[in-house]
Structure 1
Amino acid sequence: MNLLDQDLYITAAYRWDKPYRNILIDTDFSNGIKLNDLIIKEVSIDINDIIGKDAPEEEKKLAIKRRHIAVYNSEREKLDIEDLDNKISIVRKKISEIKDQKELKRSLGKLKSLVKFTNNNTILNEKRIDILKKIAGRFLIVTNTDIPMNDVVSSYKEQWRIERSFRTIKSFIEIRPVYHRKSDRIKGHVFVCILSLLVSRLIEKKTGITISQASKTLSYLKVTPIKKESGTIMIRSESDAAKNLLMKMELEYPEKVVGARIKNE
């Protein structure tokens, strides 16, 4: 079925907008339908909460046809809250280090939404943080199709995976900018990026965490040069988190002593 030719769609609502975030927070998923790692439930929303009362009749008719499906993923909830906690830690550190509000806002970037600025104080925006925790692992699918609810969610999930892969290539793997002119080198660059995406997805599948989190954990496996009279010994730092991650990936933990440079007598 070609949905686009029939002006049909399956998309997601921005979960921060009202009334969607309140619907997600208030939805009881205990009596929902289990679909693999998800719990799904069709919910009803008053069209007056979505569009204005003075909206044209045609717009109201289209809004009435919309179906809203709330989705909950417990694993995604854990990852969302873990990511939020990491962001809060960064914000706390910056608040303690940077006293000038203008400089702090510039330094925080997108994270400034987690901060409440007043004339006399700078504190965490506890209200926003509380809402973010309540909607963690939850999202709302909107469609005007009449296909079964399970198929709607499965279709959107496949679309989400594809879009996420593009985001990973653009941001984490950084496919752009391309510093090549010859076509074979450009093809090689793109091939390496796609291969990196495949490795990233394999790591996520093995470990159950995002590639960004895995990369951060493995970054603690740093090599430190220890200088002695006889030369320099390269020592790798210890990390229990990295060791556990490598075990999940079925990889051996690297040797503590990486190498040495001995001075000539």
Structure 2
Amino acid sequence: MAKKKPAPIIRIVIVGSSQVGKYSLAHQFAKGWIAPRDANDTSKTETSKQMEIQGIKYEVKVSVCKDIGQTENQDVKGNDGAVLVYSVVDKKSLTYLKTVAFQKLHDSLGSSDKTAAKDTNGTDVNQSPQQQSAGADGSGKEIAETPTGQPDEVGLSVPVILVGNKVDDAKLSRAVESEDGEALSKELCCVGFYETAATCNANVPKAFERLLNEIVTQRLSVEDSTDKPVKPTNACCVVM
């Protein structure tokens, strides 16, 4: 009997400053609950989940980068996608993404060679309209969910989403407005922006599914173009 072929692997790294909920997001997505952790453990944490994406079963491995500013580039390389996380109750965590975190990712993963598709008015035709999904933070306020394009030269070589976590704490102490998150998402060419509450799983599945679908779409596109045979041409060159 033939051996069962192992599921292909997708690797995602979660990056952000301390206390923004990176660990909680990873475990809520992979396990459906948040496991206790050793506060003294400063190593990179990894968890995994098997799931079907676009009809194919994958093993999704999610690693939490404790401090990308102190991490060797080799620890970040090899990932198929990234989740940039800040806390909506901590403005410094948003600044950290714009400066230290994104630059380190750029150094490790490289930039995208894609350019934006523009219409005749210069508008990015890949950019999706903003969408809002009802919040689950108990405040009745909608949680921002904004699919954005992955346009130009600033983007990384892999798909990236931006997540503003701890929206369940935002009712009394919000420090970052959703508009600021949307603006940064476009600035960094993310494939989507979501405000989440990891503790109650609000928007967490949607955020990861958006990223994973983009990763698989790109992977299948590359595989499809590689598998296609090159057709011979019968073109003639006429010398005048």
RCO higher in structure (CA 8 A, sep ≥6): 2
> For this structure pair, what is the TM-score category when the shorter chain's length is used for normalisation?
under 0.3
More helix by share: 1
Which of these two proteins has the greater Rg computed from alpha carbons?
1
Q: TM-score, normalised by structure 1?
A: 0.21
